[in-house]
Structure 1
Amino acid sequence: MKAGLREAILLVDLYQHHGSGYSMSFVLQPWQLLFAILSGWIHHRQQQIIEFQNDQIQSRMALNPPKSFSG
């Protein structure tokens, strides 16, 4: 959730241009902020699952090395 929130905060950040006297701001709608946070959380969770599965595969490969075929 931290990554999604950090990305959302960066998107909401306001830009001020002081030289010519105008300011421009970009503000997300509440649903867009929620979507960004949820997307970040889902991505993080998927990465955790992938790492876990890779660890499981490596440990099983270490216990049962693949057999070579001599045909």
Structure 2
Amino acid sequence: MRGILRMIEEGQNCKDVITQLSAVRSAVDRTIGVIVSENLLDCVANAEGDTNKMNAAIQEAMDLVVKSR
């Protein structure tokens, strides 16, 4: 992000700045996906076959993904 701010301060081409911002957004989205999926796997494993706990974990994971958008 500091690099992108520096690009803006230096008057870099708008297209280049947007390209870098898109790359950051994509990286953040992928990171969120990894964290949510790892957490979901953990929650389902710890649900010990309890369907209600599994459904709650899945719903919470989906809520996090939707909220991040």
| TM bracket, shorter-chain basis | 0.5 to 0.7
TM-score, length of structure 1 as denominator length: 0.55
Deviation at 1:39, TM superposition (A): 0.6
Instruction: Give the count of matched residue pairs.
Output: 49
Percent same amino acid at aligned positions?
Answer: 2
Judging by fraction of residues, say which structure has more strand: 1
| Partner in structure 2 of residue 10 of structure 1 | 6
Deviation at 1:50, TM superposition (A): 0.8
Deviation at 1:64, TM superposition (A): 4.1
Aligned-partner Cα distance in 1 for 2:19–2:3: 11
| Higher relative contact order structure (alpha carbons within 8 Å, sequence separation ≥ 6) | 1
Structure 1 gaps of 5+ residues are 15-26, 66-71
Spell out structure 1 runs of 4+ moving beyond 4 A.
none
TM-score, length of structure 2 as denominator length: 0.56
Judging by fraction of residues, say which structure has more helix: 2
Structure 2 gaps of 5+ residues are 50-69
- The alignment yields a C-alpha RMSD, in angstroms, of 2.3
| Partner SS for 2:35 | helix
Deviation at 1:11, TM superposition (A): 3.5
